[in-house]
Each structure stands twice: as structure tokens, then as C-alpha cells.
Amino acid sequence: MESLIRAWRLAHASENGKLLASTLSLTNTDLEEFAYSTNSARVAEDIFRTLEYENSAARPKVTNKAGLEAWAEVYVGFWKVAQALERYDEVEWGTVFSGMKEVTQAVIRGFQNAGWEVWQLEVLFTACKYLRYVAIRADEAKRAAGEDTWKQLEEAARIINRAFNVCLNDRAELAQSRKWGTYYIINLLFKTYFKLNAITLSKNILKALVANTTEMPDLLDFRTSEVVTFKYYCGVIAFLDEDYFKAEEHLDMAYRLCHKAAQKNKELILTYLIPTKLLTHRQLPTAALLKPYPALEALFLPLAKCIKAGNIREYDENLAKGEDWFVKKRIFLTLERGRDITLRNLFRKVYLAAGESKTRIPVDHFRAAVSWKSGVDVEAEEVECFLANMMYKGYVKGYISRERGMVVLSGTNAFPGTGV
Amino acid sequence: MATPPWRTAGGTAVQRPGYHPVTIKKTLGTTAAAANNYTASQKPASRTQFPDALKAYVARTFEDCPTENKAEVEVALKKIITEAFENGSVWTIDWATYPLPAAARRNSGDSDRMDTSSDDASPVAAPAHTLGKFHKIGKGLNGSTAVTTTNGNNKRKLGSRNQSDHSEPDRGTIMRPDKRSKKQANSDYSYEGPDAFKKLDRKYKKHQTKNVFSQYNAMHSALDSPAFAPVVGRSTKLEKRYLRLTSAPDPDTVRPLHVLEKTLDLLKSKWKAENNYSYICDQFKSLRQDLTVQHIKTDFTISVYEIHARIALEKGDLGEYNQCQSQLANLYADKIPGGHPHEFKAYRILYLLHTCNRSDMNDVLASLTPAEKQDRAILHALAVRGAVASGNFHRFFRLYLDAPNMGGYLMDSFIDRERLAALATICKSYRPDIPFRHITEELGFENDSECEAFFVKHNAADFIKTKDDANAGGKGKIVLETQRALPTLEAAKAAAFKRVDIKGQI
């Protein structure tokens, strides 16, 4: 306990937020020692006394009596966490979680009532971060026992949401404001809401953020890692909303700012950026882009090839092959629209095969092409339906004359954006 | 000579206490007196009894004992206790301060040795001395030099130190002088790598064995909660008006299962005979309510919900249908036997098409099992979804005419919308016109007059014209003038897609 609390004093002496936060880390090497250093009957007194001692040893003093009490609450909670983790053969994650809850709530109170300063925000980050981790472990333990629940993670989300408000609504002048903690906490919330499949709640966060936007520091003044994560989630939220242009903007920024060594993060961003670009600009990923990400390469590259070649059957097959993963990532329904582009490319080839200047092409030619490339005999009505859709969406300029069974294509720019 | 318990009866199942024993430490001077007291007053009635202090001692031993040392500790413990019984000292030893077996310690090493021998040597270190040391350690941390202390007092002592606490500050224990404390420096303290969670996952994995009790406990705590206590009904009336509950249900008005079963039969025959939806819906709601308050979750429950869902579908009451649907999803998920989960999964897909709920659709797709993907109704629903997604109205209307079960009723709810979408596409792409007959066939109308009625409803009848056709021998041909009709139909389509809002939607 003493070394932990000493670190607490030293952190205050040098205003070292990371050091201070590390006293609440579950990877702290002193966790075991801390767990054994007292017992449940004495913990409150022991901790307060140790804090008091370290406080009186500090020049100047770290805090006053009220401040000591606030910190004592934090460490008493943390001792329960340490005890539950270290002193039993089988970790009871529910107990760890309730301890971590106390820690986080005490930290939030510290910021609200005990006047903790902006350099101490790391403490809030660490508490929330582990609260989420522990909640997931607790829920997983219950789920392993057959209970279908995310109750504890939901509870964690509510507490982290309070941390969010504590940051967002701080009225202190900017240099001293807790607003600097906003994006870290938002990212934690996003992660949690996505895990809970409660994406609408993320939108509420964004709304609250927009309402406060004038008083917020510029996004780019925050740590780049926070910006990248934030932009990634904004992009995915817009993507799920089918607002692909906005999604592209966010994801593009995340991709550009992402650290070059953060392969995993870039892979995550690309997972959504590739389908987005497919829809917004009908852009396909190149082999070189996909090379560093074997998982993406295996799924996206064959699709891109089929789209380019207008190969409907193989496109369907490749889509089906990746379906499980695509559905899990929520990009299946978007990728599916790539089929339109595949068809467009096929129709374009029919048009080119007929000769540049020819603008009247029998529907039957298109039917033959679709039947060939999809491997099933397609009816003329269905091909007309495909063509009609292309024209409606602006992929093809022209019209169908049903009377003559002809497709009449525009003399110029019949396939916009493809050079013909 | 006393016989240790395990020689006479069974084994030594040592139970971990649910509390942390805090035992009062005796000074040497009082120990003898206390021991005498013990001998006098607490002499065991039965030979195989443990003194309470010994029980606490055993518990304490195992409390901190590393798993891998358990066996060793047990042996050591048996030896200690057997000896104590054999030389008759079991009731005289002050177990509260008796050293623990070495193997029970987390770290073997010098701290252990100190612990086992420290009973009288170091419980209370001189305050002035330790205070001085304490400061030094602070400096050491600052300058990140290695810190060692010679203090051998043991962590566990903190728990059994009550007596000395009031006179002594807690400085007696500073740090365990093991390897880890030695490198206690700033850098070590503030370092937390990016893979902290992975480290934790690894570290605490070994403890992850499935806890058989947790399920049991969860079940019990749920049942114990008064809010969830099921009611047992006493009413014998077959019919009952639905009333939304605002307080705890009254058993006199709740019908038990055997009555409800008769109710269902009655309702089925009434539905066939009278076809009165408002009556039947009301009755089904009260039936469902009685099931809920009595916690009845059986195949009977499933059939009630399924029948109500089908009736609601037939009458196009999607709000009520959806309530049944979500309850059914829970019942199926609880693995209650019976029912038609595939049929209703297919409805669910069609329903989500109706509400244009893409994120839920994604969830449903993700949840499909291989067996479900073989089911005819589900395959149909998936094909409908694919057709809608790709705008393939040709296929869509074929599937509409060929819907299994009651899927057609569900598709009715969004068929007009899809017709408008198809018409907008057609009007945009066909020139100069399109045969009316073709529209009737492509958009799944039963006949031309039904198709015409549709156009009238959407104020587009003006665009249907009779055209002289030279090829048809002067006979007039009915066509739709596509270019002129486009704006009207486009507006109707936009309006139709805006109006997707269903009560009771999950």
C-alpha cells in the first residue's frame, strides 16, 4: 500500500498524470502487495492514514482533509478490486466490477466536488478504461454460465456517460478545462455502445457534442490517437446511417492521420472505407493498397476483380464466401450494391463489343451477356429490369423501347464516368 | 492424547470463510494465562473438536495460499495439527499468532523465513526508526534508486494487528523486500503498454473455470425478487376483457393454465365463426397478459403468440403482430420446444423489409444458422430481400405471387410502395411508352382493372392512353405514357417511403 500511495504523492509533486493514473491500473505490479496490505475491516482507516502520512510528508501538501477523503474513497474501491483479483483462486468478476464501479464513481466525484485538475484527467481515463474491461469480463463470466446479459457493461456505459458529461460541461477556462478529456471518454463510450449494439446512443453523444461545439477546443488540438479513433467511429456511424459521403469524409481523415505502424487500426478503417468509396465514387481498391492486410486482401481483392470484369456469377460467389464476415462487420448490405457496378461494367462491354458508334442494341444482346456471365438463363423481362435500374440510377444514359426490343443509348457519354 | 479429526472421521475439507478472520494478537505475557483459561474452560467435550482459533488459523492458511501449493500446504498443516493434538497443545497454542506453514506463503524466500520466525521478533517496530526509513524510501523513489528494507514484517500481519494499532502508526510494514519491490521506480510505475488488456487476459485466464453456481445463483436471485414473483390465478372465466395492468395482478381475475387452454379453443372457434377482429385481439391480449403474470413459458405460450400473430397478419395489424413477433423471438431463444421458429424468422425478414430497418436486418442475417438457410420460407424471404436490395422488381413480384405461409400478407404491407418504386424506374427508362398489359403482369396485379385502380389511387390514371397501333390492325392499344407520368409517380414513391413508422416496433 505504501508504495502505491507514495506514487500518489510523487505524481502530485510533479503533476504527472500518467504516474497518478498508474496507481489505479490493473497491470500495476504492486497490485498483489496492495491486496494483501490490509483487510476489509481496516482498509478505510489504513488507506486514509497512509494518505494522511504521505500528505504531511509532501512539501507543499498535496491536498486538504476533504481531498484526502476523496482519494481515500478511490483507493478503498481500488483495494476491493485488487483484493478480488489477487486473493482468490477464481476471480469473481462481478465483485471486481462493483469495486471498479466504486473507483470510477469516486473519481468522478473527485472531479466534480474535490476540484481535481486537468492534469489528473488521466485518472478518469484509466478508471473508465478498466471499468469497461472489467464489466466485459464480468458479463462474459455470466454468459459462459448461460445467462444472456450485458447488464454490467450497460451499467459501465452509464457511468462512463457521466464521466463524459463531467468533461463536456466543464465551464472552466480552456487551459484548465476538463473538456480536454472529452474525446478520450467519447471514444470509450463509442466502443462500449458498439459492443452493446446500441449505436443510436452514440448518436446522442454526437448530438451533445455538436450542441457544445463552439466552446470545444479544435479537434486537431487533441491527441492524434484520440482524433483517429473518434473519426473512425464517426465514419462508421455515418456509414451505418447510409450517409456515405459523410462517412467517406470521416474515414478518409482517420486513415490519413492514422499512425503508419498502426496496421490493425488502418485495417479497421479500410474495412469501411473500401465499401464507402465503392458507392460514392465507384472506386475499387488496388492490389497494392490491400497488400499489407492479408485478411482484407483475401476478401476484397477477388470482389474488386469481378466487379471490374463484370463477372456476375463470381461476384455473387465471392460475396457469399465472405458473407459471414461482411455481415458481422455490417458491410454486407453495402457491398451487395457492388453488383450494380458489376452489371454496369458488363453492359458497358456489350456496348463496346457492338462498336463505338452503335447506339441501338437489341435487349437480347444484353440478355445473352447476363446469361453467360451469371451462368443461368435469364428472361428478357429481368434483363430489362436490370437495364431500367441502371438508367434510373444514372449508371447508363439511354432508354428502352419495348415495342422494338431495343436499348437506345445516348450518343455521348452513355456510361458516365467510365470514359465511354 | 487427542486424535486429529481426519483419523476418526472423513477427510479435512477446509472451507474458505466468507470473511477475513481478524484475530486478536496476544502478547507473550498474556498467552500463558490465556492458555490456562482455555484449558480450564474450553476443554473439548468431544475429542475430535477443533478450537475455533484453530479453525480460523486453517482458514487463514488457505486464504492466501497459491493454488499450486495447496497439496503441500495441506501436508504441512496436517503435520502441525497432528503434532498439536498428539502433544496435547492444541488447546493451549495461540493459533491467532501461530506461524503459518511456509508453503502457504505466496512468495517463498527470506520474507517467509522472517515470517515464520517473527512472531515475537517484529510485530512492532520502533516508530522513530521506521519513520526515518520511510522518508529515505521516498527519496529513493524520486531518484529512482533501488530500495530495500530490512523490515520483515509480513503482509498478513496487517490483518492480525488490531491490538497494536492504536498505539502504533502503521509504519511497521513498508514493503516486502522481494525482487519486485526493488525495481520500484517511477518508470516501472507509470508504464502501461498498449496491450494492457491482453496482459490482463493472460494473467487472469488461469482462473477461468466455469462456475457452476453462478447460473443457480442468478436464477435464485431473479426468483427471489418480489417484482418477479409469479402469480397463480384463480379465475375460471373463459373470456376476459383486456385491461392494461397498473398495479400488481389480482389472482382472482387471472386464469390458470388449464382455463387458458380452454379459452384458446374457444377463441379459435369464435374466430372461425365470427371473424370479429377487435373482439379477438382484445381477448388474445388478456390471454397473453395472464400468461405473462403467471410466468408461463411453454409450448402453449408459443402457440398463443403464433396464432395471435397470424390473425394480426391476416388483418394487417402490424403493431400487434410485431409485439407477438418479439415475444416469440424471446421464447424461441429460450429454447422452449414447439412452435414454428423458421416460419416466423421468415416473417421477421419480411417485416424488416417493410420497416426499411437495415441495421436490424443485418443482425438477422448474422443470426441465421445453416439449417435456417435451407428452410423454404426463409429462402423465400431472403430472395425477396435480395430482389428489393437490387431493385429487381421483376423477381420481386414473382416472389410476391409465390409467398409461402402468410408471407403474402406481410408483403401486402409494402407491395404498393415497391410498385411505385418499380413504376418510377420504368417511367424513367422506357420511351416513348410501355404497354399497360406489361405493367399489370410485371407488377403482380391480378388483372388490368386492379392495376387501373392503383393508378387512379395515385392520381396517375391520366397517363394511360389508347394508342392507335398500325401493326394491330387498327385496334387501339392501351399504354402508359412514361415520360409524362414520371414526376407524379416519383412524388408518390417518395411519399410512400417516408411513411414507414410502426407502433410497437422493437
Domain range summary for chain A, segments of one domain joined by +: 2-214, 223-336, 347-409
CA dihedral (A36, A39, A45, A47) in degrees, to 10, reads 20
- Flag if B141 and A33 touch (Cβ within 8 Å): no
Alpha carbon distance B503, B497 (integer Å): 16
What residues are paired with A40 via a beta bridge?
A: none
What residues are paired with B325 via a beta bridge?
A: none
- Say if residues B98 and B23 touch (Cβ distance below 8 Å): no
The predicted complex's ipTM stands at 0.73
Facing B138 at nearest CB: one of A30, A40, A57: A57
Interaxial angle between packed helices A312-321 and A363-374, expressed in degrees from 0 to 180 and rounded to the nearest 10 = 40
The predicted structure's pLDDT at residue A294: 94
- Flag if A27 and B218 touch (Cβ within 8 Å): no
- Flag if A87 and B64 touch (Cβ within 8 Å): yes
Alpha carbon distance B254, B294 (integer Å): 8
Facing A382 at nearest CB: one of B64, B392, B424: B392
- Say if residues A275 and A325 touch (Cβ distance below 8 Å): no
- The answer, yes or no, to whether residue A384 has pLDDT greater than 80, is yes
Where b means 16+ CB within 10 Å and e means fewer, A188-207 reads bbbbbbbeeeebebbeebbe
The predicted structure's pLDDT at residue A222: 93
Query: Helix, strand, or coil here: B264?
Result: helix
Average pLDDT over residues A161-174: 90
CA distance B483 to chain A (A): 11
Facing A33 at nearest CB: one of B176, B210, B426: B176
Query: What residue spans of B42-99 are helical by DSSP H?
Result: 52-63, 70-86
Point out the least confidently predicted range of A74-83, A271-280, B226-235.
Answer: B226-235
Facing A39 at nearest CB: one of B22, B189, B429: B22
Q: Nearest residue of B to residue A57 by CA position?
A: B135
Alpha carbon distance B482, B259 (integer Å): 61
Alpha carbon distance A203, A240 (integer Å): 11
Alpha carbon distance A102, A37 (integer Å): 19
CATH number for the domain running over A347-409 = 1.10.10.10
Among the listed residues A369, A286, A303, the one whose alpha carbon sits nearest the alpha carbon of residue A337:
A303
CA distance A22 to chain B (A): 5
In the structure grid, which three cell numbers stand for residue A272, read together? 469501411
- Interface check for B199 against chain A (CB to CB < 8 A): the answer is yes
Predicted confidence band at A277 (pLDDT cuts at 50, 70, 90)?
Answer: very high
Q: Nearest residue of B to residue A90 by CA position?
A: B207
The predicted structure's pLDDT at residue B433: 86
In the structure grid, which three cell numbers stand for residue B318, read together? 402490424
Alpha carbon distance B101, B73 (integer Å): 7
Average pLDDT over residues A382-392: 92
Query: Helix, strand, or coil here: B383?
Result: helix
Interaxial angle between packed helices A93-113 and A151-168, expressed in degrees from 0 to 180 and rounded to the nearest 10 = 10
- The answer, yes or no, to whether residue A346 has pLDDT greater than 50, is yes
Kindly give, in sequence order, each residue whose CB lies less than 8 Å from that of residue B56, ignoring residues fewer than 6 positions away: B17, B21, B23, B95, B96
- Say if residues A194 and A328 touch (Cβ distance below 8 Å): no
What residues are paired with A401 via a beta bridge?
A: A406
In the structure grid, which three cell numbers stand for residue A218, read together? 479544435
- Flag if B425 and A339 touch (Cβ within 8 Å): no
The predicted structure's pLDDT at residue B106: 54
Each residue's pLDDT expressed in tens, for chain B with a length of 506 residues:
454 444 444 434 444 444 554 545 444 444 444 444 444 444 444 445 677 778 777 777 777 666 677 777 777 888 888 888 777 777 777 777 777 777 666 554 444 333 433 344 434 444 444 443 344 333 334 444 343 433 444 433 333 334 444 444 443 343 434 434 333 444 456 556 667 788 888 777 644 444 444 444 444 444 444 555 677 877 878 888 888 877 777 888 888 888 888 899 989 998 888 888 888 999 999 899 888 888 888 889 999 999 999 999 998 888 899 999 988 988 888 888 888 999 999 999 999 999 888 778 888 888 888 889 899 999 999 999 999 988 899 999 999 999 998 999 999 989 999 999 999 999 999 988 888 888 999 999 989 899 999 999 998 888 888 877 666 555 678 888 888 889 899 899 888 888 665 444 43
- Interface check for A360 against chain B (CB to CB < 8 A): the answer is no
- Residue A382: its chain B contacts at CB < 8 A? 392, 394-395
Point out the least confidently predicted range of A58-62, A382-386, B58-62, B460-464.
Answer: B58-62
Instruction: For A354-373, write each residue's pLDDT tens digit.
Output: 876 788 899 999 999 999 99
- Flag if B207 and A391 touch (Cβ within 8 Å): no
% residues pLDDT > 90 (chain A): 60
The predicted structure's pLDDT at residue A366: 93
- Flag if B429 and A400 touch (Cβ within 8 Å): yes
Query: Helix, strand, or coil here: B464?
Result: strand
Size of interface A-B (CB pairs under 8 A): 194
Alpha carbon distance A395, A341 (integer Å): 8
The predicted structure's pLDDT at residue A354: 85
Alpha carbon distance A61, A54 (integer Å): 9
With 0-12 CB in 10 A as exposed, 13-18 as middle and 19+ as buried, what is B333? exposed
pTM above 0.80, yes or no: no
Q: How many residues does chain B have?
A: 506
- Flag if B197 and A133 touch (Cβ within 8 Å): yes
% residues pLDDT > 70 (chain A): 100
How many other C-beta atoms can be found within 10 angstroms of the C-beta atom of residue B208?
A: 15
* Arithmetic mean of pLDDT over chain A: 91
Q: Amino acid letter at B171?
A: R
- Name the strand (E) or helix (H) holding B177: none
Chain B stretch 390-419, residues whose beta carbon is closer than 8 A to a beta carbon of chain A? 390-395
Q: Amino acid letter at B182?
A: K
Kindly give, in sequence order, each residue whose CB lies less than 8 Å from that of residue B450, ignoring residues fewer than 6 positions away: B440
Kindly give, in sequence order, each residue whose CB lies less than 8 Å from that of residue A319, ignoring residues fewer than 6 positions away: A303, A326, A332, A335, A336, A338, A339
